[in-house]
Amino acid sequence: MSETAKSDLVTFETREGVAVIMINNPPVNALGADVRAGLHAAVKRAQDDTAVGAIVIGAEGRSFPAGADVREFGKPRATPILSQVCDLIEASQKPVIAAIHGTALGGGFEIALACHYRIAQQGTRLGLPEITLGVLPGGGGTQRVPRITGAGPALELMMTGKPVTAERAQALGLIDQIAERNVDKAAFATARNMIAQGTAPRPTRDRAEGLGDPAAFSDAVEHWRAQAAKRPVPAAAKIVDCVERAMLLPFDNGIAFERAAFDECEPGPEATALRHAFFAERRAAKVPELAGATLREVHKIGVVGAGTMGAGIAISCLDAGFPVTLIERDQEGLDRGVARIKTNYDRSIAKGRIDTATGDARMARLTGTTDMAQLADVDLVIEAVFEDEQVKRDVFAQLDAVMRPGAILATNTSYLDINALAATISRPEDVVGYHFFSPAHIMKLLEVVVGDKTDPNVVATGFALAKKLRKVPVRAGVADGFIGNRVLAAYRLAADFMLEDGASPAQIDAAMRAYGFPVGPYQVLDMAGLDISWARRKRLAATRDPNERYVAIGDLICEQGWFGQKAGRGYYVHDQDNGPIENPEVLDIIAAERARKGITPRMFSREEIQSRCLDAMANEGARLLEEGVALRPSDIDVVKIFGYGFPRHKGGPMMAADQRGLLSVMNGLKERSAEEPRFWAPSPLFNELIKNGRRFSDMNNG
Ligand code: COA
């Protein structure tokens, strides 16, 4: 007898004695409260139904559940909670089979682990990425996985958060079978066989193959405990503790331990910031231009300029499957660019990241030429020539002459005024900025800079293209330095003021590393080369306000020819054997500057260095919001996290300001206003938000 009962999110059907329970909560079948309730009710019903001999749990759409519903995190959780659903499934007296496809992540994988048998469709990826959200598996994952795999593989899954293939999961014992085609059918057939053969349930809680070697188990625990100590999120150490308990405690006590650990991490500042980063990334892709947009067709891409940036952009496009025409002024430069791209693929092949055929296919899609006319048939050109207004104007004039009507002209500028550039050609509506970050084929951030005349369809096409290039796009309006470099400039200036007032480069760098940046601001300058920003400062010198506090230390260093790492010297001395060490002569230059300006040096604590840099960044971010350059605070956070090394677990400068308290940030800014009023004066947005009891995060929706 067949019977179907539908709720919206979980469907229940019995066929030939098999209860087929399907989760149906698009887009990724996240396990929100209603899904959990529906699943709980369906499993209970199957158990109570005497006509049911076995149960299959599967999912409609593109994936088995990709996790708990992250939107519920940080709020009181409605029952049944995930671990209650898992316990009910595992306790079933009838065998339960998980039919898994897509990406079974987090809570989704934990549901599968609570089932008695797991069949995955080929191509499925399974993982426990909770640590990337600052939490730990809270549905029994920390107790069930090690019982099957031992501590080593279990901890690798949970500490890296990286999903594994179905084949790897099978090798670890986490999957029983891989279905080549339709996993739901395969699971149904298995369920029928189990009924016929009277197969008993196999609760994971009773499995012990992973516990068979206590010495190896505790070695792995100690190995990962040492790793966890270096991680900034408290969940890391908790995961290790939980997995250790899988060996030490009875299952139910282990589950209780896991729950307590989860509850401790979930409301913490790191988890809150990481959740923010997760949604901020996805929110950034939603821009007003997408509504009603007609995307322009992009099949073939041109890249003008085969230097480091151009080559990186070309690689990014080739990787995404586009044919690319790469243009350089002369053959020599072109050969160098093509060689750079070839070297990149050779390295990827040598490291086993791609196979030779893939590398060859990507190279075969590349056409190098010095003839601009070859761009006549491309749909989009990304110009990545030298950052100079006249040079870019010349290139744009040539592009205007050869490109087909409706093709897009994108400029990879970091600072230049796109409106001014667009005004020099006949089709300003086709001009957009794509600001890539170096190395362009690796860095995820892409600032999509929208000019006054840019056609909304061109903007929308930019966002669609970014997805294909696997970039994280953020919309920015035209401004000197757009979002990223504007905030960076404020960060550097705050640091430079401290340099002059008493701190050393090493001290400032150490403070910002302690905050969570991989490297400090002066290390970054040395790595990037000091001559680039020096050239820019020289260009801007004529228009600089003479009343502005100007820190000349960087210029004085450059005057010595110390352009950073590539010159062996910069803020640091770059000793090949010992790494960067403090440059004593730079300290002399700083001391002389202080003396020249009559500054008596003072001490800066680590906390003060951090708060000055963070306040300056948040203030500049607030100004970008006021000016409409950034759409929302979370976009600024995404730019800083993905392009500038801002620690993700702090959520970005605007989120960090929320967490530190806007009143305290504003008061800090006000206090410093006497030092340099224009720089430190708080943006009126602070007062506006505080007055209304709001925070930056309240500006994110919309
Ligand atoms: N909870 C709530 N919403 C989720 C979610 C989750 N666990 N996972 C994804 N979503 C939402 C996204 O916010 C997005 O919503 P939007 O369309 O309104 O922006 C939508 O589902 C699609 O996700 P997206 O990431 O854009 O799709 P994708 O195909 O690129 O990636 C996943 C799919 C599942 C791989 C990816 O979303 C992911 O990694 N999710 C988080 C998984 C996770 O950490 N689970 C453990 C939770 S404890």
3-state helix, strand, coil in the chain (%, to 5): 55, 15, 30
Q: What one-character-per-residue DSSP string does 421-489 give?
A: HHTTSS-GGGEEEEEE-SSTTT--EEEEEEPTT--HHHHHHHHHHHHHTT-EEEEEES-TTTTHHHHHH
Ligand 1 atom with minimal separation from the 282 CA = 19
- The pLDDT score that the predictor gives to residue 1 is 36
171 forms bridges with which residues in the sheet?
none
105 alpha carbon – ligand 1 mean position (Å): 10
Report the 10 Å Cβ neighbour count for 197.
Answer: 8
CB 55 within 8 A of CB 21: yes
Q: What is the pLDDT of residue 4?
A: 40
Residue 7: predicted pLDDT:
52
In angstroms, rounded to a whole number, what is the distance separating the alpha carbons of residues 262 and 141?
A: 12
337 CB less than 6 Å from ligand 1? no
**Which of ligand 1's atoms lies nearest the C-alpha of 63?**
34
Structure tokens at 182: 């339709």
Which residues, including other chains, have CB under 8 Å from residue 124's CB and lie 6 or more apart? 64, 100, 101, 102, 103, 104, 165, 166, 169, 183
Which pair of tokens denotes residue 40?
């709980």
CA atoms 120, 126, 128, 129: torsion sign: negative
> Which atom of ligand 1 lies nearest, measured to the CA of 135?
48
Distances in whole angstroms, Cα of residue 329 to Cα of each of 175, 307, 333, 335: 56, 11, 7, 11
Strands 431-436 and 445-450, sheet pairing: antiparallel
Q: What's the gap in Å between 207 CA and the centre of ligand 1?
A: 31
Contact 245, 143 (CB under 8 A): yes
Q: Which atom of ligand 1 is nearest to the CA of 69?
A: 1
Q: Ligand 1 pocket test: pick from 36, 63, 70 the residue with the most ligand atoms within 8 Å of its Cβ.
A: 70
**From the alpha carbon of 128, which atom of ligand 1 is closest?**
46
Q: Using a 6 Å cutoff on CB, does residue 69 contact ligand 1?
A: yes
pTM (whole model) above 0.95: no
Asked whether 467 lines ligand 1 (CB < 6 A), one says no
What are the distances in angstroms from CA 551 to CA 256, 554, 573?
57, 7, 21
Q: Is 284 in the pocket of ligand 1 (CB under 6 A)?
A: no
Q: 630 C-alpha vs ligand 1 centroid, how far in Å?
A: 24
Ligand 1: does its nearest atom lie under 6 Å from the Cβ of 184? no
Residue nearest to atom 9 of ligand 1 (CA): 28
415: nearest Cα among 388, 455, 450: 388
Ligand 1 touching residue 70 (CB < 6 A): yes
The label of the residue with tokens 């950052």 reads 387
The residue ranges of the chain whose pLDDT is under 50 are: 1-6
Percent of the chain topping pLDDT 90: 92
pLDDT of residue 645: 96
d(CA 150, CA 209) in angstroms, rounded, equals: 7
Cβ–Cβ < 8 Å for 66, 25: no
411: β partners: 383, 433
Looking at residue 199, what DSSP letter applies?
A: P
Task: Report the pLDDT value the prediction gives residue 702, as an integer from 0 to 100.
Answer: 56
Residue 576's pLDDT is what?
A: 79
Q: Are 66 and 103 in contact (CB under 8 A)?
A: yes
CA atoms within 13 A on the CB side of 460: 13
Question: Of 459, 400, 449, 455, which is closest to residue 424 (Cα–Cα)?
Answer: 400
Query: H helices within 477-628, ranges in order?
Result: 484-501, 505-515, 521-528, 530-540, 553-559, 584-597, 606-626
Q: Alpha-carbon distance 669 to 618, whole Å?
A: 10
d(CA 163, CA 526) in angstroms, rounded, equals 36
Active site residues: 110, 130
Instruction: Label residue 16 left, alpha or beta by phi (over 0 means left) and psi (-120 to 50 means alpha).
Output: left
CB of 66 sitting under 6 A from ligand 1 = yes
* Residue 282 CB–ligand 1 contact under 6 Å: yes
Regarding the beta carbon of 30 and ligand 1, being less than 6 Å apart is answered yes
Task: State the closest ligand 1 atom to the C-alpha of 66, by its place in the atom list counted from 1.
Answer: 34
In whole angstroms, what is the distance from residue 134 CA to residue 73 CA?
11
Cross-strand bridge partners of residue 127: 105
Establish whether residue 29 lines the binding site of ligand 1, counting it when its CB lies within 6 angstroms of any ligand atom: no
Cα(490) to centroid of ligand 1, in Å?
33
Distance 69 CA to ligand 1 centre (A): 9
* CA 33 to centroid of ligand 1, rounded, Å: 16
Domains and CATH numbers, the chain: 3-267 (3.90.226.10), 288-481 (3.40.50.720), 485-628+631-699 (1.10.1040.50)
Nearest to 116 by CA among 176, 37, 165: 176
Query: Which among 412, 411, 405, 410 has a CA at the least distance from the CA of 426?
Result: 405
- Residue nearest ligand 1's atom 1 by CA: 69
Would you say the CB of residue 27 lies under 6 angstroms from ligand 1?
A: yes
CB 453 within 8 A of CB 428: yes
pLDDT of residue 5: 42
30 C-alpha to ligand 1 centroid (Å): 8
How far, in Å, are 287, 349, 421, 455, 635 from residue 702 at the CA level?
A: 9, 44, 30, 21, 12
Q: Which residue has a Cα nearest atom 10 of ligand 1?
A: 28
The gap between the terminal CA atoms of the chain, to the nearest Å, is: 50
Cα separation, 675 vs 670, whole angstroms: 10
Q: Dihedrals φ, ψ of 281, to 5°? A: -60, -45
- What is the distance in A from the centroid of ligand 1 to the CA of 138? 18
Q: Can you state the angle between helices 633-644 and 653-660, rounded to 10 degrees? A: 120
For residue 515, the CA-to-ligand 1 centroid distance in Å is 28
Q: Write down the pLDDT at residue 3.
A: 40
Q: Is 129 in the pocket of ligand 1 (CB under 6 A)?
A: yes
Q: Is 68 in the pocket of ligand 1 (CB under 6 A)?
A: yes
Ligand 1: which of 9, 28, 700 to mutate, judged by most atoms within 8 Å of the beta carbon? 28
Q: Is the CB–ligand 1 distance for residue 285 below 6 Å? A: no
Q: Which atom of ligand 1 is nearest to the CA of 132?
A: 44
Phi-psi category of residue 661: left, alpha or beta, with phi > 0 → left and psi -120 to 50 → alpha: left
Q: Is the CB of 404 inside a 6 Å radius of any atom of ligand 1?
A: no
C-alpha 654/C-alpha 635 separation (Å) is 9
User: From atom 28 of ligand 1, which residue's Cα is the shortest distance away?
Assistant: 28
- Tens-digit pLDDT profile for residues 106-124: 999 999 999 999 999 999 9
**Strand, helix or coil at 19?**
strand
Atom number of ligand 1 nearest to Cα 283:
19
Write the single-letter amino acid at 101: H
476 Cα to the center of ligand 1, angstroms: 24
Map tokens 């014992």 to a residue. Answer: 173
What's the confidence (pLDDT) of residue 598? 97
Cβ atoms within 10 Å, residue 552: 15
Ligand 1 close to Cβ of residue 459 (< 6 A): no
Closest CA to 144 of 208, 81, 93: 208
Q: Measured between alpha carbons, how far is 42 from 699 in angstroms, rounded to an integer?
A: 40
Asked if residue 140 lies in contact with residue 87, where contact means CB atoms within 8 angstroms, the answer is yes
| Residues 300-344 pLDDT 10s | 999 999 999 999 999 999 999 999 999 999 999 999 999 999 999
Render pLDDT for 246-292 as a digit per residue (tens, 0 to 9).
Answer: 999 999 999 999 999 999 999 999 999 999 999 999 999 999 999 99
Q: Whose CA is nearest to atom 26 of ligand 1?
A: 282
Judge if the beta carbon of residue 67 lies within 6 A of ligand 1: yes
Nearest to 156 by CA among 166, 167, 145: 145
Q: How far apart are CA 308 and CA 513, in angstroms?
A: 27
CA 196 – CA 545 distance, rounded (Å): 86
Q: Identify which of 548, 672, 692, 685 has the alpha carbon closest to the alpha carbon of residue 620.
A: 685
DSSP assignment of 115-144 = SSEEEEETT-EEE-GGGGGT----SSHHHH
Q: How far is the CA of 241 from the centre of ligand 1 (A)?
A: 28
> Measured at the alpha carbon of residue 425, what is the angle toward residues 422 and 431, in degrees to the nearest 5?
40
The kind and range of the H/E element at 368 are strand 366-369
For ligand 1, atom 47, name the residue with the nearest CA.
67
The reply to whether ligand 1 has any atom less than 6 angstroms from the CB of 106 is yes
Query: In a 3-state reduction of DSSP, which class is residue 365?
Result: coil
**CB count, 10 Å around CB of 293?**
18
Instruction: State in Å: Cα 66 to ligand 1 middle.
Output: 7
Paired tokens of 512: 């910002």
How many angstroms separate the CA atoms of 624 and 638, rounded? 14
